[in-house]
Protein backbone atom coordinates (compact mmCIF):
# COMPACT_ATOMS: atom_id res chain seq x y z
CA UNK A 1 0.00 0.00 0.00
CA UNK A 2 2.99 2.31 0.52
CA UNK A 3 3.68 2.60 -3.22
CA UNK A 4 0.12 3.34 -4.27
CA UNK A 5 -1.09 6.83 -5.10
CA UNK A 6 -4.31 8.40 -3.85
CA UNK A 7 -6.10 7.05 -6.97
CA UNK A 8 -5.28 3.49 -5.77
CA UNK A 9 -2.89 2.96 -8.69
CA UNK A 10 0.73 1.88 -8.44
CA UNK A 11 2.89 4.99 -8.17
CA UNK A 12 5.38 5.45 -11.01
CA UNK A 13 9.06 5.86 -10.22
CA UNK A 14 10.53 8.91 -11.94
CA UNK A 15 13.76 10.88 -11.85
CA UNK A 16 13.97 14.62 -11.22
CA UNK A 17 16.20 16.73 -13.48
CA UNK A 18 15.75 20.10 -11.83
CA UNK A 19 18.86 22.00 -10.73
CA UNK A 20 18.18 21.38 -7.04
CA UNK A 21 17.33 17.66 -7.39
CA UNK A 22 19.35 16.32 -10.33
CA UNK A 23 19.04 12.54 -10.56
CA UNK A 24 16.91 12.26 -7.44
CA UNK A 25 14.22 9.57 -7.73
CA UNK A 26 10.61 9.99 -6.61
CA UNK A 27 7.21 8.32 -6.81
CA UNK A 28 4.27 10.04 -8.47
CA UNK A 29 0.77 9.28 -9.71
CA UNK A 30 1.13 7.56 -13.12
CA UNK A 31 -1.77 9.59 -14.55
CA UNK A 32 -1.00 12.85 -12.72
CA UNK A 33 -4.54 13.16 -11.46
CA UNK A 34 -4.21 12.95 -7.66
CA UNK A 35 -0.99 14.95 -7.05
CA UNK A 36 0.64 12.05 -5.20
CA UNK A 37 4.35 12.68 -4.67
CA UNK A 38 6.98 11.06 -2.46
CA UNK A 39 10.78 11.20 -2.60
CA UNK A 40 12.61 7.85 -2.78
CA UNK A 41 16.14 9.24 -2.44
CA UNK A 42 17.26 11.59 0.29
CA UNK A 43 18.09 15.16 -0.68
CA UNK A 44 21.45 15.97 -2.22
CA UNK A 45 24.07 17.88 -0.27
CA UNK A 46 24.53 21.52 -1.34
CA UNK A 47 27.87 20.75 -3.02
CA UNK A 48 26.32 17.98 -5.16
CA UNK A 49 23.51 20.36 -6.14
CA UNK A 50 26.19 22.66 -7.60
CA UNK A 51 28.56 20.04 -9.09
CA UNK A 52 26.11 17.66 -10.81
CA UNK A 53 24.33 20.23 -13.03
CA UNK A 54 27.75 21.55 -14.12
CA UNK A 55 28.87 18.04 -15.04
CA UNK A 56 25.69 17.46 -17.02
CA UNK A 57 26.23 20.75 -18.91
CA UNK A 58 29.80 19.66 -19.72
CA UNK A 59 28.64 16.28 -21.00
CA UNK A 60 25.96 17.92 -23.16
CA UNK A 61 28.52 20.39 -24.57
CA UNK A 62 30.98 17.59 -25.38
CA UNK A 63 28.26 15.54 -27.07
CA UNK A 64 27.23 18.57 -29.14
CA UNK A 65 30.86 19.20 -30.07
CA UNK A 66 31.23 15.56 -31.09
CA UNK A 67 28.13 15.81 -33.31
CA UNK A 68 29.46 18.92 -35.04
CA UNK A 69 32.87 17.25 -35.39
CA UNK A 70 31.22 14.68 -37.64
CA UNK A 71 29.90 17.55 -39.77
CA UNK A 72 33.44 18.93 -40.08
CA UNK A 73 34.64 15.58 -41.41
CA UNK A 74 31.84 15.64 -43.98
CA UNK A 75 32.91 19.15 -44.98
CA UNK A 76 36.52 17.97 -45.35
CA UNK A 77 35.39 15.11 -47.55
CA UNK A 78 33.38 17.51 -49.72
CA UNK A 79 36.42 19.78 -49.99
CA UNK A 80 38.54 16.81 -51.08
CA UNK A 81 36.05 16.00 -53.86
CA UNK A 82 36.13 19.65 -54.97
CA UNK A 83 39.93 19.60 -55.07
CA UNK A 84 39.95 16.42 -57.16
CA UNK A 85 37.51 18.05 -59.61
CA UNK A 86 39.69 21.17 -59.80
CA UNK A 87 42.78 19.03 -60.42
CA UNK A 88 41.01 17.29 -63.33
CA UNK A 89 40.02 20.66 -64.73
CA UNK A 90 43.60 21.96 -64.39
CA UNK A 91 44.93 18.84 -66.16
CA UNK A 92 42.57 19.44 -69.08
CA UNK A 93 43.53 23.11 -69.22
CA UNK A 94 47.25 22.22 -69.14
CA UNK A 95 46.80 19.69 -71.97
CA UNK A 96 44.96 22.28 -74.05
CA UNK A 97 47.68 24.86 -73.35
CA UNK A 98 50.45 22.45 -74.41
CA UNK A 99 48.54 21.56 -77.59
CA UNK A 100 48.09 25.27 -78.37
CA UNK A 101 51.82 25.96 -77.90
CA UNK A 102 52.71 23.04 -80.18
CA UNK A 103 50.34 24.38 -82.84
CA UNK A 104 51.84 27.88 -82.54
CA UNK A 105 55.35 26.42 -82.74
CA UNK A 106 54.54 24.50 -85.95
CA UNK A 107 52.78 27.55 -87.43
CA UNK A 108 55.90 29.64 -86.83
CA UNK A 109 58.26 26.93 -88.12
CA UNK A 110 56.14 26.31 -91.23
CA UNK A 111 55.85 30.08 -91.76
CA UNK A 112 59.61 30.59 -91.55
CA UNK A 113 60.65 27.58 -93.64
CA UNK A 114 57.63 27.27 -95.84
Q: Using CA atoms, how far apart are residues 50 and 44, in angstroms rounded to an integer?
A: 10
Mean pLDDT of the 71-94 span: 83
Q: Which of 19-23, 78-82, 99-103 has the highest mean pLDDT?
A: 99-103
- Give me the pLDDT at residue 33, please: 87
With cut-offs at 50, 70 and 90, classify the pLDDT of residue 40.
very high
This model's pTM is above 0.75: no
Amino acid sequence: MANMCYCRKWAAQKTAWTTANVGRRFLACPERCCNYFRWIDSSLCPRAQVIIPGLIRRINALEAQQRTGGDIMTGAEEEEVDLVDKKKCCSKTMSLLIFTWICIFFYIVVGIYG
